[in-house]
C-alpha cells in the first residue's frame, strides 16, 4: 500500500481519510515511547528510518479503522521492522521528522 487509508488523523477534504504520513517520510524513531507518557526529554537522532509501506488491519477480509502498521527501513544499516502508526505520529509531533 502506498497510503494509509481510513486513518484517525487525516488530510482535511479528502473523501477517503488519507493519512498524514506518506511513504518516503524519514523519521528518527525513539525507543521507549509509551502511548500516554510521550517521548523522553532528550531525543536521540542517530538512526533515521524511512517509511516504505502501510499495512491496513483486516479481520475476516474487512478493513478496520485505526491501528495501521508501517514497514520502516533503517537508513543506517538496512534493517526492516513494522511499527504502529501512533509511534510514528508521536515522533513527528516531537519534531523528529527529517525534512
Question: How does residue 1 score in pLDDT terms, banded at 50, 70 and 90?
Answer: very low
Cβ(58)–Cβ(43) below 8 Å? no
pLDDT in tens, 19-72: 678 889 999 988 777 766 666 677 888 899 999 988 877 777 776 666 678 899
Q: Is the pLDDT of residue 91 over 90?
A: no
| Rounded distance between C-alpha atoms, residue 76 and residue 70, angstroms | 18
Q: Is 43 helix (H, G, I), strand (E, B) or coil?
A: coil
So what's the pLDDT on residue 27? Answer: 93
Residue 92 scores a pLDDT above 80: yes
For 23-81, the DSSP string reads TT-EE-PPSS-BTTTB--SS---S--EEEEEEE--EETTEE-SS--EEEEEETTT--EE
User: Whole-prediction pTM value?
Assistant: 0.72
Amino acid at each position: 500500500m502506498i497510503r494509509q487509508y481510513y486513518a484517525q488523523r487525516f488530510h482535511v477534504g479528502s473523501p477517503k481519510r488519507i493519512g498524514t504520513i506518506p511513504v518516503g517520510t524519514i523519521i528518527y524513531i525513539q525507543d521507549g515511547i509509551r502511548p500516554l507518557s510521550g517521548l523522553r526529554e532528550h531525543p536521540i537522532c542517530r538512526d533515521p528510518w524511512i517509511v516504505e509501506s502501510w499495512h491496513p488491519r483486516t479481520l475476516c477480509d474487512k478493513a478496520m479503522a485505526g491501528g495501521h502498521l508501517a514497514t520502516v527501513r533503517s537508513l543506517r544499516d538496512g534493517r526492516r521492522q513494522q511499527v504502529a502508526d501512533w509511534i510514528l505520529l508521536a515522533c513527528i509531533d516531537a519534531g523528529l521528522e527529517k525534512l
